[in-house]
Amino acid sequence: MAGGQSIPGAQREGQTSALIRIVIPQGAGVVLRNVAAVLARQISERCDAKVALAGDAPVTVELAVEPGIGAEGFHVTDGPKSTVRIVGNDEPGVLYGVGKFLRTSLYGRRGFTPGTWRGTSVPKCPFRAIYLATHFNNFYEAAPAEELKHYVEELALWGYNTILIHFPTWQFDSLSDAEAQKWLGRFKALFAHAKRHGLRVGLLQAPNQGYKTPPADLRGVKVPGHRRGNFGVNLCASKPEAKELLIRMYDELLDEFKDVGLDYFQLWPYDEGGCACEQCRPWGARGFVGISRELAGLARAKFNGCKIVLSTWGFENENDANPDGEWVGLANALDEDKSWADYIMADGHDDYFPKYVLEKGVPGDLPLVNFPEISMFGMTPWGGYGANPTPAHFQMLWDRIKHQAAGGAPYSEGIYEDLNKAICAQFYWSPGRQAEDTVKEYLAYEFSPDGAEDLLEVVRIFERNHRRNRISADATRAFDIVKSVETKLTEQVRRSWRWRIFYLRALVDKEMYEREGELQGEALREAFQELTRIYHAENSHSMPIKPPQVE
């Protein structure tokens, strides 16, 4: 449930304070202490208010845990003497309650005004993950570690409870490769940070994907289809030597995470992954099932309570003579034994969702989670033009499955789709919530309540102009709105990366419209250079991530 209320007009009439006290229970654990630190950082970064953990203050925010609300749910209530109580069913519930409180508060030049939203909210979907693609030297690989950790905290405030990443074996010679060890150090530290804030963590791996120099005689056969990529590192899981090598490889990789602990292990069929030899095909129904079952058992033996997510991405391929073959085969295999899997993940590209699931249900009657592609569709380079919000698109996709979904994990290549992440997080929290409601809450929180309605119109224009060959005259109106709203923003907002990628998207679209799509001129050059700095994309792969270059 997601009840609650806000007193009309009260936000503007509430008590604005330059000093806020945060109170946590005596003997509070590490998660609750970190949640208090997140609350303090968010307030102090968004306005000139100071935060204290002791002494007197005009406004007090009390954090507490009181079981009985519902898993990861929270209450926000009034306490005595200008106190707001944020009470979680558990420690993660306090974190999500803090997120709601922050989003409904005001940040002004005179200080902080506590939000007036009061009520109870409990998430509907248990699996609320975000998949951070860790490759091509994108933001997640290139950003300073502290910046990335803070970003994970901010995603959690919207309701995400799990961070998923992929160890890109195809980038490394072996686990002892210096670059592999550097990668592991960075992302094990990120996982530990997430755990200290009450989040879960997991790995997403293609089970027959090897390192970048696999033995030639053990390699698999490429599966046809342009969305079933192959770097030449996939092994044939039907060959005993290859299977033994894969199990040994993943045994060593999983051991790297023993100190942190894994809550999820997700097995992925394609791109990378797959083998089309006689013994493995159709991959999703034969070779993939066999090696996934082996690795699922390995993960569960190492991590108590680890849940297995079985992906079906890339089933129903355009080149398949029998597009339902993998689905039918997987369903038959799970009908015989589904004890080794906990979730089925299904999704597609653009506006496509697998028709097998829509028409015939989920194989094994397992809980369904989706994998919305929030980063790549409709733009190349992805994110190269600034913010890419498309709420109507994601509303359409979600409406197909919201009645049966247990959550999902959006695919993210960087921070430019931050608004899309918020939309998906709130779908998972409350499946009936409309995307535009989340957009308005985001715009009011991140920018200004006074400008939220005007900026909502800008988001609608962004979506209409999403395809780079369809930018229309309303791009000029969007830029005019953004320029007008900017004059009313606080200095903190105007400097923030979220405002800059929003502003720059409006500027880029206007310039591209006026130049009939040509990437020319100093304004575009400077905009792309600034986006490159924000994304830390100076050394990233030019096709998917780095903004365009202006001659």
Q: Evaluate whether residue 421 is within a structural domain.
A: yes
Of 90-94, 132-136, 343-347, 522-526, the poorest mean pLDDT is in: 132-136
Answer whether residue 183 is part of any domain: yes
> In 415-464, which ranges are E strands?
none
* Same domain, yes or no: 171 and 70: no
Is residue 40 predicted with pLDDT exceeding 60?
yes
Q: H or E stretch including 500?
A: helix 497-514
Domain boundary among 388, 408, 439: 439
d(C-alpha 28, C-alpha 39), whole Å: 15
Mean of per-residue pLDDT scores for the chain: 94
Q: Using an 8 Å Cβ cutoff, are 254 and 298 in contact? A: yes
- Higher pLDDT: 109 or 505? It is 505
Q: What DSSP string runs through 190-213?
A: HHHHHHTTT-EEEEEE-TTB--SS
Same domain, 383 and 466: no
Looking at 392, 409, 439, the residue that finishes a domain is: 439
Percentage, residues of the chain above pLDDT 70: 95
Tell me the CA end-to-end span of the chain in Å, nearest whole number.
53
Please answer whether residues 223 and 270 qualify as being in contact, where contact means their C-beta atoms are separated by less than 8 angstroms: yes
Question: Do 410 and 504 reside in the same domain of the chain?
Answer: no
What confidence score (pLDDT) does residue 81 get? 87
Name the least confident of 75-89, 125-139, 316-330. 316-330
Residue range 526-534: average pLDDT?
Answer: 96
Task: Give the orientation angle of helix 391-401 with respect to helix 435-446, to 10 degrees.
Answer: 140
Does residue 549 form part of some domain?
no
- 298-324 confidence digits (pLDDT tens): 999 999 999 999 999 989 764 566 667
pLDDT digits (tens, 9 = 90+) for 181-234: 999 999 999 999 999 999 999 999 999 999 999 999 999 999 987 778 778 999
Report d(CA 344, CA 263) in Å as an integer.
Answer: 16
| Domain final residue pick, 121, 155, 180 | 121
Tell me the percentage of the chain whose pLDDT exceeds 90. 87
CATH number of 60's domain: 3.30.379.10
Q: Is the model's pLDDT at 14 over the cut of 70?
A: no
Looking at residue 181, its pLDDT comes to 97
**Same domain assignment for residues 239 and 327:** yes
Q: Are 362 and 344 in contact (CB under 8 A)?
A: yes
Domain that holds residue 399: 127-439
231 in the same domain as 95: no
Do both 419 and 479 map to the same domain?
Answer: no
| pLDDT tens digits for range 338-390 | 999 999 999 987 788 998 999 999 999 999 999 999 999 899 999 999 999 99
Q: Over 50: is that where the pLDDT of 526 sits? A: yes
The pTM of the full predicted model, rounded to 2 decimals, is 0.96
Where are the strands (E) in 346-403, listed by range? 368-370
CB count, 10 Å around CB of 324?
16
Structural domains counted in the chain: 3
